[in-house]
Structures are given as C-alpha cells and as structure tokens.
Amino acid sequence: MVTTPYVRAELMAHAPQGVAPGQPLWLGLQITHQPEWHTYWKNPGDSGLPTDLAWTLPAGLDAGEIAWPLPRKIPIGTLANYGYEGTVLLPVPVTVASTFAAGPLAKDAIIQLRASWLVCRKECIPEEGEFTLQLPLRSTTALNGAAFEAAAKAQPQPVLAGTNGIVPDSQAQIADGNALQVSVHGLPVALRGKTLDLFPETSEVIENAVQWTQAWNGSVWTAKIPLAAQRSSSPSLMPVVLAERAAEQGAAAHGTGPDTRTGYRAELKVLGTWPQGAAVASVSPALDAALKANAAQAAQATGGAGAPLAGSGASTLTLSAALLGALLGGLILNLMPCVFPVLAIKVVGFTQHAQDRRAHRLSGLAYTAGVVLSFLLLGALMLGLRAAGEAVGWGFQLQSPAVVAGLAALFTVIGLNLAGVFEFGHFLPSSVASLQARHPVADSFLTGVLAVAVASPCTAPFMGASMGLTATLPVPQALAVFAVLGLGLALPYLAASFIPAVARALPRPGAWMDTFRKFMAFPMFATVVWLVWVLGQQSGIDGAGALLILLVGVGLVAWSLSLAGRARRWMATVSVAAFALLAWSFGPHITNASPAHTAEATRAGGAQWQAWAPDAAEQIVASGRPVFVDFTAAWCVTCQYNKKTTLADSDVLADLSAKNVVLLRADWTRRDPAITAALAQLGRNGVPVYVFYRAGKPPVVLTEVLSVQEVRATIAQL
C-alpha cells in the first residue's frame, strides 16, 4: 500500500479458483482519493494523463490492458477532464498460460507492480508507487471479490452490435467542417429520454468542455459535438462510451456517494472527410502550454524523459522557437536591474584589459563558459528536482532564506573589497591571493558563475515561454534551451571581447581606475539592501534584523583580517569568535517563516488586491467577474518594478475598477507548490507572470515587462 497526502493506492488480486490455466485471475490497483482530488481515465480529456501500470509477473502469467471503469466528466475552469474521484479499482485481466506450472514446493507467485498516476485538484501532483504481492497458487483468493465484482459492473457494457462490433446505423457524420453529427441506435430503454454524457476513447478529437446539443428521436440518440480546434486524430472508427449524465445522480455527481450509472460502449463509423488544418485553428498558446505542462508533470512521475504529448520530443519548429526565445531572453536579461552589479564587475574587468586584446578574448570566452555551464547545472538541478516530485520553478533558489542571506554576505564582502576596506591579498596565503593575477581566465569564469547566481531569479521578455516549455521537452532539448539562455546573457560581453573598436573606445588605465573601482562598490551595497528586504518578506522584520547584525559581523571579520602584526592576530581572533556567537544567536531568525507573510502579501499594492488561492480565480470567474492575477515574488526585481509603475498607474487602476476586475496576487517569495503548479498550467515556471481570466475564454498572459498601453488594451477587450 502507498499513502500520500492525496491518495491511498493498494495492489489487489482476485483468483477464486487459485492460479491455474483456464481459471479467472484478476489484478488491480485500487485508488482512494482525498475529497476534491481525482485521477484520470484512458482519455484524460483536456489535460492530465491516465494511470500507468507496469507489471513484473512470473513466467506464464500475462497481464492484459486495464478494464477501465466508467469515468466522470470533471470541469476545471474552461477545461473538462475525464477521471475518477472517491474510490476506484482499475482491474486488469491476467491470462495463465497452459504451460504455467509452479514447482512442487512453490506456494506463492510474486506479483510486482510499478504504477504512476497524476492526481489533481486545481493543481496537479505526479506520484508513483511500487507494490509487491504474494499471491497463493493453490488456494482461493476471494477476499477482494466484492471490489472486483463492483469494478466489473462499472465497466461500460457493449451496445447490441452488428458485424465487427459496429452498431448498425450508428455513425458520426462530419457536419459543417467543424462538428460531428452523432447518431446512436440500440441503447437500452432505461436511457431513452435521459440527458447523456459522451466520453470519446480517442483523445483530442472533440471539444470536451463545450456544451453541445443532443436529442432523442424515438430510440435513436443524436448529438452535434464541436470538433477540437487543435485536433491530433482523425479516426475512421470512433469508440465512445455513453452514460446518463452524472449531475442527475445526486451526491454521486460530486464523488461523495456510489456511482450507480451504467455505461455503454459503441464504435461509431465516421462518415465524411475530416477538415484539414484543424490543428492550427485558434487555440490559445496558454491553453496549449497548460496541456503540455500537465503531460510533462505526469511524464516526470513515470520516469519518462519527455512529454507524452510530444512523442519522442518537441517538433523542430517548437524547439527552434524555444531556442530563439531563450537567446533573446538572455540578451534582454543583461538590461534587468538584478544583473547590474555583475555588469559593474565586468566593466572593471574591461578597464583592466583595455589595451590587451588577447586577454580580452580569453576573458570573454571564460566568462561565457562560466555563464553557460552554470545555466546548464542550474537547469539540470531544476529538472532533477522536478523528476523527484519537487514542485520548483525558475528562481527557486532564492525562495530559501539561507541562500538569500548567503548572497547578501557575498555581496557585502565584494562591496567592501571594491571600496578598499580590505584586500584579499592581505589575509589570504600568497598562492591564493595571487590567483586572480596569475589566472585571470579562472577569475572571469567565476564571474560568469556569479552572474548566473544573481540573474537567475529574473525573467526577461521571450524568456518565460522558453523556460516554461522546458517542462515538456526531453532532457537533452531542455538543457539546450538553458545553454542558449546562458549564451544570450554572455553574448554582449563575448562580442565586445572580439570587437577591437570596443577596446579602443575605452580610456587608458590610470589613477581614475581606483576611483571607478571604489564607486562600483555602491551597486554591490544596493544589492545587499535589496536582499535584506527580500529576506524581510520571507522571515519578517526579525529575520531582516538578524541578517543585518550578521553582515556587520562579516564586515568586522573582513576588516580585522586585513590588519597587520599582533593587532591582526588579536582582533581577528576576537572578531571571528564574536561572529560565531552572533551566528549562533541570530542565525535561526533568518530561516524562520514570517507569521505576517500572507497578510502582507494581501495588503501589498493597496487594499484592492486579494491573496491568491488555488481555486479563487475559477470561482470568481464563474460568478461573472473577470480576474487579474499577479504572480510575483519579493526577490524578483522585474516584479517590483512593474508593481511600482504600471500596476500602480492611475489609468490602469481606473480601467480595472470600471470593468469590475478582481485583483489577485500570488506571492511566490517562499516556496509554494500550488503557485508552481498554477504557473506550469500557464506554460511558465518563473515570475513575473500576469494573467487575465474571463468567463468562457482562455486566459490571456501578458509580457514580463508590463506597459500601461498593453494592460489597458487588454482590459478594453474584457
């Protein structure tokens, strides 16, 4: 048995006559869902992925396909899924070969199962489990008989069929090029006159969430069902399951009572020519990305290397678009405020090598290597954590207060060094202190690593969609996107290193360089101020105060180690001991969660903003009001810039008020799996993300750097 916060899964068997040739043998996985959570049918609908069972059986036993019970239609905002709530048993028939013969001393058959499933509410969690069962060979196993009998009754029954399983005169006629005109004969009398649900076994053929018309003409049931705008299949035979609409089953419609419906399966002959070009019709990029993101989460749960919707990988066009977006996003990332401190260091490097073209080129190549390799390592870490079931996204490292504090300490030390408070050569061994001078290439490489550490929380235009798509790509293609993103970030410095005109434009080295170097300390200290503010959002005022105290201790240690003679020995000993005491006393405050974090997020930006919740947007849209969601984080400089400018603009606020738009703010400053899942559904894995939700229409995702004109134009269309 495997128990998670969302489901309880158990491997079960039913062998009334023992394990022997010609005798019935059933295996199955029973899943009990927590309220409001669900898993998926063989055709999951608009998103999700069916449960997958991989068996390891003794020789002579052969497991068949899952005998899928009748599903429910589960609406999720503007989507519709097919799946199961409550408790469901997925039975599998097992054939015992005539050659099967257990040894005379064998008592049990060892049954092993590796199962993976995607369990969803508004967010989706990929899960898996390994099960082992000792199945008695010669004695009956009827303990679970009632569960398997109920599962057999829940399986769709065949409609009275003619030759080849096709119901006579039952068909799906292509109508108007964008709909199926379905007519089914031979349904039981008990269903006649009832409102039915149709579940296509072929995915991505019809619009699952759209309300369609249906009627009875005597014993013939007819319906006109819109074709999916983005269709992946055009079957000549279309297997479907029909059942009484679950809404007429009272409590069972909500998964709180037994499902008493009976489903009926029929194969419809498709007449007419499937319309061409349906796959490029108007489906929103956000919806398409949401489908791919759900599939990718499930692929990670099954240990797959890529998204099932993409088959063996993304198309050449999709991958090329992702690489181009990553390159442009990396280039623009250089203009984001979070990268400015590292650019300041690189400007100092330019001045040092202004007249040495060879050193310029080596430095540019080393810096590029440091950036690209760091992006690859960061991407591999993020993909690995996702494959292990962790809900992480771009910039996840700054969701850790300890990482924020570490970066603040690092930039404090760099700022003090640039300001001339100390020189590394004064307190480091000469072999270490001279590394920068003796190995400028290594110094440039490490600067590239530092650039990625600072730049990674930011999301630039064109970058968000490419990063979101990495969740749907095979690992090699996803890592290629991360590498090209790094190349884009390093490209301006790399190009400048190989263009002589840049070197000629720089002033010659001189005394001014010392003044410029000390001036560059102030961007470092400004970054420290930002990081302290970020920590304050995560751990409260006590956490920010504790970090400031520790930064004073860091400065004291750095200064004392720069002294000479006996003063250095005594002061360094005292300062290191004092810092250790401060770290022991105040360090725990840094990682404590702020009790007022949620309340502050709710009040931020004005009283009109409300705190985001996983199902809040859907509930508000269902009531008839549009919703605007700001996915943000305190450590995201772009988020804070947009919040203080465009989102605070009086005209924008007036337009939002005039359209009665509800404003929700999803604060990702600290790790939040629900927000991570919501971003994945939008095809994103980092912030900022700005989304408008409207009734009956797909969500509209805005650009990362907002403009007043863009937001007002979108509001006008609500």
Q: Which fold has domain 2-154?
A: Immunoglobulin-like (2.60.40)
Pair type for strands 124-136 and 108-120: antiparallel
Q: Do 597-716 and 158-279 have the same topology in CATH?
A: no
Kindly tell me the burial class for residue 446, based on how many C-beta atoms sit within 10 Å of its own C-beta (0-12, 13-18, 19 or more).
middle
Whether the Cβ atoms of residue 75 and residue 114 lie closer than 8 Å to each other: no
Helix axes 285-301, 357-387, angle to 10 degrees: 70
Question: Residue 542 has what pLDDT?
Answer: 82
Take residue 489 and report the two structure tokens written for it.
């970030």
Mean pLDDT of the chain: 76
**DSSP-based three-state secondary structure for 635:** coil
Alpha-helical segments (H) within 562-702: 565-591, 597-603, 616-622, 637-644, 650-658, 673-681
Percent of the chain scored above 90 by pLDDT?
A: 11
> For 73-97, what is each residue's pLDDT tens digit?
888 767 788 999 999 999 999 888 8
What is the structure's pLDDT at 538?
A: 76
Using one digit for the tens of pLDDT, what is the confidence trace for 460-517? 555 656 666 665 567 788 888 888 888 988 888 888 778 767 666 665 666 766 787 7
* Poorest-pLDDT segment among 80-89, 527-536, 590-599, 605-614: 590-599
Question: Nearest CA to 322 among 492, 489, 491, 482?
Answer: 482
Distance from C-alpha of 311 to C-alpha of 304, rounded to nearest angstrom? 11
* Range from 454-468, 526-540, 591-605 that averages highest in pLDDT: 526-540
Q: What is the 3-state secondary structure (H, E, C) of 355-419?
A: CCHHHHHHHHHHHHHHHHHHHHHHHHHHHHHHHCCCCCCCCHHHHCHHHHHHHHHHHHHHHHHHC
* CATH 2.60.40 fits domain 158-279: yes
Going from the C-alpha of 411 to that of each of 417, 522, 532, 596, the distances in angstroms are 10, 10, 11, 28
Find the distance separating the first CA and the last CA of the chain, reported in whole Å.
Answer: 49
Separation CA 492–CA 496 (nearest Å):
6
Query: Is the confidence at residue 628, as pLDDT, over 90?
Result: yes
pLDDT at residue 626 tops 60? yes
State residue 29's pLDDT score: 94
CATH of 597-716, one of 2.60.120.560, 2.70.70.10, 1.10.10.10, 3.40.30.10: 3.40.30.10
Going from the C-alpha of 21 to that of each of 99, 152, 477, the distances in angstroms are 8, 21, 48
Local confidence band at 562 (pLDDT 50, 70, 90 cut-offs)? confident
Which range, 190-199, 317-326, 333-342, 510-519, is most confident? 190-199
Cα 652 from Cα 558, distance rounded (Å): 48
Q: What's the rounded Cα separation, in Å, for the pair 306 and 48?
A: 15
pLDDT value, residue 71: 92
Q: Given a cut of 60, is residue 166 above it in pLDDT?
A: no
Mean pLDDT to the nearest integer, 24-52: 89
Question: Which one, of 375, 262, 277, 338, lies nearest residue 523 by Cα?
Answer: 338
3-state SS assignment for residue 559: helix
Mean predicted confidence (pLDDT) in 588-600? 59
Residue 646 in this model has a pLDDT that exceeds 80:
yes
Which pLDDT value is given to residue 338? 60
pLDDT bucket at 110, cuts 50 / 70 / 90: confident
Question: In angstroms, rounded to a whole number, what is the distance separating the alpha carbons of residues 86 and 34?
Answer: 7
pLDDT recorded at residue 509: 60
Task: Name residue 514's amino acid.
Answer: D
Q: What pLDDT does 236 receive?
A: 81
**What was the pLDDT predicted at 313?**
37
**216, 299, 549: which is closest to 405 by C-alpha?**
549
The CA distance from 214 to 200, in Å, is 16
CA angle 335, 336, 340 (to 5 degrees): 80
Collapsing DSSP to helix, strand or coil, 199 comes out as strand
Give, in degrees to the nearest 5, the angle at Cα 673 between 294 and 591.
155
Q: How many CB atoms lie within 10 A of CB 608?
A: 11
Residue 286 has pLDDT above 60, yes or no: no
pLDDT score, position 294: 41
User: Residue 339: its pLDDT value, please?
Assistant: 65
What contacts 695, CB < 8 A, 6 or more positions away?
621, 622, 624, 626
Domain ranges of the chain: 2-154, 158-279, 314-591, 597-716
Q: Which three-class secondary structure state does DSSP give residue 92?
A: strand
pLDDT of 347-388, one tens digit each? 666 555 555 667 778 888 888 898 899 888 888 887 776 666
Closest CA to 687 of 617, 631, 612: 631
Q: Which helix (H) or strand (E) holds 39?
A: strand 39-45
Using the predicted structure, report yes or no on whether residue 459 has a pLDDT greater than 50. Answer: yes
**Alpha helix (H) ranges present in 224-339?**
285-301, 316-333
pLDDT, greater one: 1 or 425: 1
User: Measured between alpha carbons, how far is 56 from 4 in angstroms, rounded to an integer?
Assistant: 23
Residues 683, 285 contacting (CB under 8 angstroms): yes
Residue 691: both structure tokens together: 């989304």
Query: Is it the case that residue 591 has pLDDT exceeding 80?
Result: no
The pLDDT tens digits of the residues spanning 288-332 come to 443 344 444 433 333 333 333 333 334 444 567 778 878 887 887
pLDDT tens per residue, range 668-696: 877 778 888 888 778 777 788 899 998 87
pLDDT reading at 598 higher than 60: no
Element (H, E) at 76: strand 72-76
Q: Report the 10 Å Cβ neighbour count for 531.
A: 27
Counting Cα atoms < 13 Å in the Cβ hemisphere of 584 gives 6
